[in-house]
């Protein structure tokens, strides 16, 4: 099968003519060809690092140490997902975890997974990514690029938090909220009456403290670890994003290994995916408990009006991404 020429962050990833004559442009020294380099921008206690450790243990045990794994955390090989995706392209990193927003540069349809209220529950999310739809999305990525999807990971469930409580849609009117830089995400908050605003993550505490923005949205772990609850204590369980992340490698990496070693790598990736998901759940529960202990006011709401008011945004985004069938298939599996 012929693959497309793909540019990632300005780097030529793959040139294929037919099924051979592969040329890779790389400035990195691959080092030991039997060593896999896994990297994340998150710290060594993050769910990603837990997943990486599970992968390392499994692949080294299964191969008797002929394949090893080296783990890099805290952004030591790339401070954000864009840099890590580029490093997979250039050979500096063999495996990383990347969000849909950074994957749109290689496949537009991936951005569907970023839409607020696309998933109605964690179970719905699992049914999608672990079923035929997840397989279809992986195939689309792998047919159009030299990337391989090793598993679907998560980064928690994103919720609203701000200086004032939100009980209903009307409470969001004219609230300035820091959001991700995605048109569909920003349009969704606009549809709810809020004013989406861009603020760099490392500037967020001060921006919230000084009311440059009134609110933000994120998962429990990020809210707690960033101490944002100290200046914006009202947390509303909007549960608008059951997040998707892609555990990635590339064809170029896998071609270094024998069939048996590849099988061991794929098996280890499955175990890593399970470990990372479980760690994410546990850390979210711990973070929510600590948020409440430290004074955060957690508010449960009926999300139905929020879902209904943003439905046109999802429909329009699916049309724009030329992913209407995929969108309908995802919704057909909802609770």
- At 28 the pLDDT is 39
The answer on 327 and 189 residing in a single domain is yes
165 inside domain: yes
**Position 177 pLDDT exceeds 70:** yes
pLDDT score at 31: 59
Model pLDDT, residue 89? 87
Alpha-carbon distance 2 to 143, whole Å? Answer: 8
Which pLDDT score is estimated for 4? 45
The CATH number of whichever domain residue 50 belongs to comes to 3.40.190.170
CA 40 to chain centre: 12
Q: Is residue 267 scored above 90 in pLDDT?
A: yes
Q: What is the pLDDT of residues 275-307, one digit of tens each?
A: 999 999 999 999 999 999 999 999 999 999 999
∠ CA 46-47-49, nearest 5°, is 65
149 with 253, same domain: the answer is yes
Q: What is the reported pLDDT for 171?
A: 98
Residue 247, φ and ψ in degrees, nearest 5 = -85, 115
Q: What is the pLDDT of residues 228-266, one digit of tens each?
A: 999 999 999 999 999 999 999 999 999 999 999 999 999
- Asked, for residue 119, whether it belongs to a domain, the answer is no
Assess whether 59 and 171 both reside in one domain. no
Contact (Cβ atoms closer than 8 angstroms) between residue 36 and residue 67: yes
Residues 63 and 186 both lie in one domain: no
| Shared-domain flag, residues 17 and 89 | yes
- pLDDT tier, 143 (very low <50, low <70, confident <90, very high otherwise): very high
Both structure tokens of 217: 């949205």
- Contacts of residue 259, defined as CB under 8 A and 6 or more positions apart, other chains included, come to none
CB-based contact 36:68 (threshold 8 Å):
yes
Residue 318: inside a domain, yes or no? Answer: yes
- What is the number of domains present in the chain? 2
Please report whether residue 56 resides in a domain. Answer: yes
CA distance 311 to 188: 9
**pLDDT at 8 exceeding the cut of 50:** no
Domain match, 188 and 300 both: yes
Give me the domain span that covers residue 225: 157-242+288-332
pLDDT digits (tens, 9 = 90+) for 204-218: 999 999 999 999 999
Name residue, tokens 């349009």: 187
253/307 same-domain check? no
């Amino acid at each position: 099968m012929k693959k497309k020429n793909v540019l990632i962050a300005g780097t030529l990833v793959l040139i294929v003519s037919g099924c051979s004559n592969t040329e890779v442009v790389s400035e990195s020294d691959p080092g030991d060809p039997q060593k896999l380099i896994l990297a994340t921008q998150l710290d060594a206690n993050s769910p990603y690092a837990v997943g990486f450790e599970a992968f390392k243990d499994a692949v080294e045990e299964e191969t008797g140490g002929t394949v090893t794994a080296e783990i890099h955390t805290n952004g030591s090989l790339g401070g954000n997902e864009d840099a890590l995706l580029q490093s997979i392209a250039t050979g500096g990193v063999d495996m990383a975890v990347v969000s849909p927003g950074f994957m749109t540069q290689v496949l537009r349809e991936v951005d569907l997974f970023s839409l607020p209220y696309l998933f109605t529950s964690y179970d719905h999310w699992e049914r999608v990514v672990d079923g035929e739809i997840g397989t279809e999305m992986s195939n689309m990525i792998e047919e159009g690029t030299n990337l391989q999807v090793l598993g679907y990971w998560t980064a928690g469930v994103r919720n609203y938090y701000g200086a004032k409580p939100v009980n209903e849609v009307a409470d969001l009117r004219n609230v300035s909220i820091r959001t991700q830089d995605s048109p569909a995400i920003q349009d969704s908050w606009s549809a709810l009456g809020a004013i989406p605003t861009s603020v760099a993550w490392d500037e967020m505490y001060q921006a919230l403290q000084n009311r440059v923005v009134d609110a933000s949205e994120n998962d429990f772990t990020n809210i707690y670890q960033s101490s944002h609850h100290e200046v914006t204590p009202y947390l509303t369980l909007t549960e608008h994003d059951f997040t998707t992340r892609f555990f990635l490698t590339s064809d170029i990496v896998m071609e270094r290994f024998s069939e048996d070693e590849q099988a061991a790598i794929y098996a280890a990736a499955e175990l890593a995916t399970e470990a990372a998901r479980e760690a994410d759940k546990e850390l979210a529960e711990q973070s929510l408990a600590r948020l409440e202990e430290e004074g955060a006011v957690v508010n449960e709401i009926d999300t139905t009006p929020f879902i209904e008011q943003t439905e046109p945004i999802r429909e329009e985004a699916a049309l724009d991404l030329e992913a209407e069938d995929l969108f309908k298939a995802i919704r057909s599996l909802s609770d």
